[in-house]
Structure 1
């Protein structure tokens, strides 16, 4: 659809008409309002529920400081933008120069607010993309100048918000390898609180660039005012919350700034070059954390994820069956296991490449992406063909951003490696990072993947890994511009991914990073899904997947059944079925009844993938507050739902809550039937097959029905249509 571009009517075409006018960015239920003052400053007026009458926003007082605090002039708070001009002047004095809006379709409107320095030829344009139905706003900035020589950008926020409430509770998630997504909620004290990463690659390894903020009182799933936000950037990030409890100038104020971490990232911007920041995505709701999540999920599925609403392929990974020890025949035999299991795809993991330095462990071969001739004498093409003969698609693991010192690439191009001169080489996981700030390295990485895919056109899946963060970091290519490395690396990565996506539009790709090191929407614009953690113990995964569900829809969260944990195959599979189902087990070691169970569960998942992956999520019973857990997914027309229930580490005498369902149509009748049954088909839910009204299920609910430690059930809820 052709974009319709217009100057916002209330602002008119001349600067004289700008004064005291307002800019309204609106979704179906929320509004974000700005005011242009007499001296052309941009002030924020409002963030909250949309009013019925736009003229009433004019009755609201504007916040008494710039909507985007500028460094160097009269700054007393953390600046959103800070630059040094070509003549050394370290200040900005931005004024509104122009405002335009473009309606790209019935759901999306983009507002551009152009700010120009009063003296210097520097302009910063704020962009606001409002998604009406999803009640989400995406905000970013672009910076340009026409000074004679480069200016230096010190801070360059994607977006800023100001709030004037009494109290705030911040929920965020932290962790490390195999222990991701530990949830913490704290009341914000006075001062500055920052959630950030300085890791360079796999930047979400310690902290997630996403948050929930409850206003005035702690919100729960269904009640309370919540602002949820996430930064779409695969590198160093910063989410800053500056909570001023008292000021003689403005009493109290919370400023939220989201963007690239300014740490060691001064950026030299050339004349007429445009620097575009990543997107800050956020939603506001008065209906609790659950509605905030559903808003984010629907935005992500429609706009934030590559082909977000397309079906994902169930798969069998060979890692736990073989590790590095395999050959052609062993892999071909595993294709039979994938077919027997009933999955659509076989994924060949690490260890298939390297000849001079064979990849028989993780200490060699990265960078040399030729099939190992001893393990695979007929190459990858043979495996792809054999998989097709078995009726199974073929996928493959790669880690193209990384290099081992024991590799031919390292011997030929040590200058492509990120490492400080005159310092000891610092390895993590026996590997180093390639310099994707260098266009030659970008071309190499692209060619590695392109050669593999073009020579083996039926490869249907790539697991793209990234197993270390940056240390000892220096780019030989950037020379005297080392402070641009963290930014230019990510820009280089995106350049490669854009080229690949332009050519390989149907390829399914998993964004992996030694676990949850890349759980963010910057990468997901090129990938359909991500790997949340190398910890696949299903008990741990209940908590992790619960945490990820605040920001990411189930279709993006890869969940595999593995040897981790001592629980039953049913418990493991039911947990994994809450996300994007996959297997990493030795199928030959399954008992006949376990294999039958997995086959049935895979069939159920394929049948219900639209509901689980793309439906509205309702978290019912939190594992953080109970010795059990439950959540459900409901499709758009409320005709179908799937409910998951789990007993955790229970004790004799535990008291269990009722399961009060959500999201159904009170006027419909629903049949509630347990699926994923074991053995003789005995249901834990003894009333399986009973028909209830939606009204009953959402008011009275179901008695807790699981018995025993670490047990599980899946209920399929279907509208009962009777003549």
Structure 2
């Protein structure tokens, strides 16, 4: 199928347009329109709401003529440097003959329909002087209003070409003003939001950490057009780079008020020497547009993630009990045996053994030793992991285990035997992040080792049911003893990581794995292709988690967010459990020390969660009352039939007399249906203050609302919503 709306001629092996060539990338509600002019310059004519009549796309340029574009490529589809371009490029190269100029012209395009919902447009660009080409890929998901974009760079010159910049995507937007919502943070402070108006010039979001790249700044963002978008109003674009390493996103507001978004791998310390015939494939950049505010954009992205990107995105997840905060490194078989019994007693699916189970010469009794020596510690576990897997089965639960296979302690047998496997400068003093160094995954032998850590565990313990994959160190003194060209290191490290994960998933396609990186240091959709869930933060204080989980929820569905009940924070067990239920529920507590009513509450809450988890995991998510804008935070999950839902409400302001002063207006309901709201997760010995014998129309609940009666004595209120037939 070809999207050309006007004829073209084939001249000297290239497609040269007689008249305007139009290539719309359409979804249900949005369109990006690419156009080619007489000189074969390929530009972005439009990014916005889809037109009903495709033939009218060719009228857009005349309606939105760019004035004073001296270069003619200001809205280029993939801006090259060194020729006519005067702004930030998407690609910069040095040719084999030393020339630094590049001019990419349209050659051809093709559109392939992958299924009833997914299409892929490929646009082929080539330099008219050099044998250098770029193919732009636009993969559109019609029903979800999501587009993935990436580039493939090739050449056939006589010698290597140096790629100095190599973006995945180059978007151009047109509005009166732009508002950027970005995120920053640190350990235990992930996903701190800032929103500012973009001014002329360049704003860059980036990371140079090598691993755990999202620690200080994640690669997700929003851009609102004309005014800051609210939850239900305004035009907003969500963007995210599907990459787990160094990233760079340039947002340039030019002199004509066009916003240019250029996203891809960070070219920091990474000029890439591209051989003739080699294909350099960039990671995908995804975006979704909404004309109805942030809420619609997030639900679009959630549906896309569950259907196409998350591992087992429409499947089940395991609730669990983790031993970390119960024991830290101090445990043995007897302690773990009791915790396994507590797992069954609590009512969750799986027991997760965390850090500290391995290493003998340098026992893993703290975080200063043993990392890299993946053999059971004989003192702690004389009968090995297999005996624990068996005992878990005898207790009617599953067994999972923690690993951090990319890292090594200098105090380890692995470091002693293979110092050349470690990322470090050969002539400089070692510098540690959490007493660790990073293994060199650019080295295929190291890739085999890391894969072998996982494979060996499953080979010896085929009933092992869960992996928590951690990654705590960033890269200092970047150097690979394996690579000849150190400029390739950051890129080859990530390629090596993905090769390992691909091998693991090829052999163990269904085993649940948690993506952990000392918290949310590596949460992106490239990694989540291999993992069933992610760990948002080591900060499990439930009050903090309300704010963090709120911001994460714009980009990642609840199914993927692992939330644990711990002893962090001053809130009672009910508040902590209720907050953790807004995703994939887990516990990290000493069950045997729980007061009788606390244990009873947890058991009943888990039972309620099992009844409602399908709605939380697979339903639509609606943010009703923002924790930064109100004393009460309210979040609604609703099933596809608009028949059942669950509404979470929390007091987030402890000042005197704060409460839910006004009704919370619900969203997404069927206005014609009748609903009953029932309070659940009541602490033993308490009763609800809410009436359960009244039904309300969806129309009433959305226009007038319902007051959950949140106050200092009822700091957490969960309501089950049921259709009354």
Residue 316 (structure 2) aligns with: 311
Residue 462 (structure 1) aligns with: 467
Instruction: Return the alpha-carbon distance in structure 2 between the equivalents of residues 25 and 416 of structure 1.
Output: 45
CA contact (8 A) 1:18 1:36 kept: no
1:681 Cα deviation (Å)?
Answer: 4.6
Residue 524 (structure 1) aligns with: 528
1:166 aligns with 2:171: no
Aligned residues: 709
1:139 aligns with 2:149: yes
Instruction: Return the alpha-carbon distance in structure 1 between the equivalents of residues 60 and 441 of structure 2.
Output: 48
1:181 Cα deviation (Å)?
Answer: 1.0
Instruction: Return the alpha-carbon distance in structure 1 between the equivalents of residues 120 and 7 of structure 2.
Output: 17
CA contact (8 A) 2:658 2:711 kept: no
Instruction: Return the alpha-carbon distance in structure 2 between the equivalents of residues 601 and 21 of structure 1.
Output: 59
SS in structure 2 at match of 1:10: coil
1:123-134 to 2 correspondence within 5 Å? 123-134=133-144
Residue 336 (structure 1) aligns with: 341
Instruction: Return the alpha-carbon distance in structure 1 between the equivalents of residues 346 and 657 of structure 2.
Output: 39
CA contact (8 A) 1:657 1:704 kept: no
1:147 Cα deviation (Å)?
Answer: 1.6
CA contact (8 A) 1:19 1:39 kept: no
Q: Paired residue for 2:252, among 232, 242, 254?
A: 242
Q: Paired residue for 1:490, among 481, 488, 494?
A: 494
SS in structure 1 at match of 2:465: strand
CA contact (8 A) 2:133 2:154 kept: yes
1:253-652 to 2 correspondence within 5 Å? 253-479=258-484, 481-652=485-656
Instruction: Return the alpha-carbon distance in structure 1 between the equivalents of residues 366 and 79 of structure 2.
Output: 51
Residue 57 (structure 2) aligns with: 57
1:627 Cα deviation (Å)?
Answer: 1.5
1:81 aligns with 2:85: no
Q: 1:651 to 1:450 in 2, by over 3 A?
A: same
1:205 Cα deviation (Å)?
Answer: 0.4
User: Per-residue displacement from partner, 1:557-584 (whole Å, max 9, x unpaired)?
Assistant: 1100001011110000000001110000
Q: Paired residue for 2:712, among 705, 708, 714?
A: 708
Instruction: Return the alpha-carbon distance in structure 1 between the equivalents of residues 427 and 281 of structure 2.
Output: 34
SS in structure 2 at match of 1:521: coil
User: Per-residue displacement from partner, 1:592-640 (whole Å, max 9, x unpaired)?
Assistant: 1111111111111122111111111110000111111101011111111
1:201 aligns with 2:211: yes
Please list every run of 5 or more consecutive structure 2 residues that lacks an aligned counterpart in the other structure: 67-71
Please list every run of 5 or more consecutive structure 1 residues that lacks an aligned counterpart in the other structure: 1-5
**TM-score, normalised with respect to structure 1:** 0.96
1:31 Cα deviation (Å)?
Answer: 0.6
Q: 1:657 to 1:195 in 2, by over 3 A?
A: farther
Instruction: Return the alpha-carbon distance in structure 2 between the equivalents of residues 187 and 323 of structure 1.
Output: 45
CA contact (8 A) 1:673 1:690 kept: no
SS in structure 2 at match of 1:39: coil
Which is further off, 14-23 or 185-194?
Answer: 14-23
Q: 1:131 to 1:595 in 2, by over 3 A?
A: same
1:688 Cα deviation (Å)?
Answer: 3.1
Residue 25 (structure 1) aligns with: 25
Residue 124 (structure 2) aligns with: 114
Instruction: Return the alpha-carbon distance in structure 1 between the equivalents of residues 104 and 533 of structure 2.
Output: 40
SS in structure 1 at match of 2:153: strand
Q: Paired residue for 1:94, among 82, 86, 104?
A: 104
Residue 10 (structure 1) aligns with: 5
Instruction: Return the alpha-carbon distance in structure 2 between the equivalents of residues 47 and 343 of structure 1.
Output: 47
Residue 69 (structure 2) aligns with: none
Residue 40 (structure 1) aligns with: 40
CA contact (8 A) 1:667 1:694 kept: yes
Residue 200 (structure 2) aligns with: 190
Instruction: Return the alpha-carbon distance in structure 2 between the equivalents of residues 258 and 676 of structure 1.
Output: 44
Instruction: Return the alpha-carbon distance in structure 1 between the equivalents of residues 665 and 326 of structure 2.
Output: 41
Instruction: Return the alpha-carbon distance in structure 2 between the equivalents of residues 161 and 377 of structure 1.
Output: 58
SS in structure 1 at match of 2:554: coil
**TM-score, normalised with respect to structure 2:** 0.96
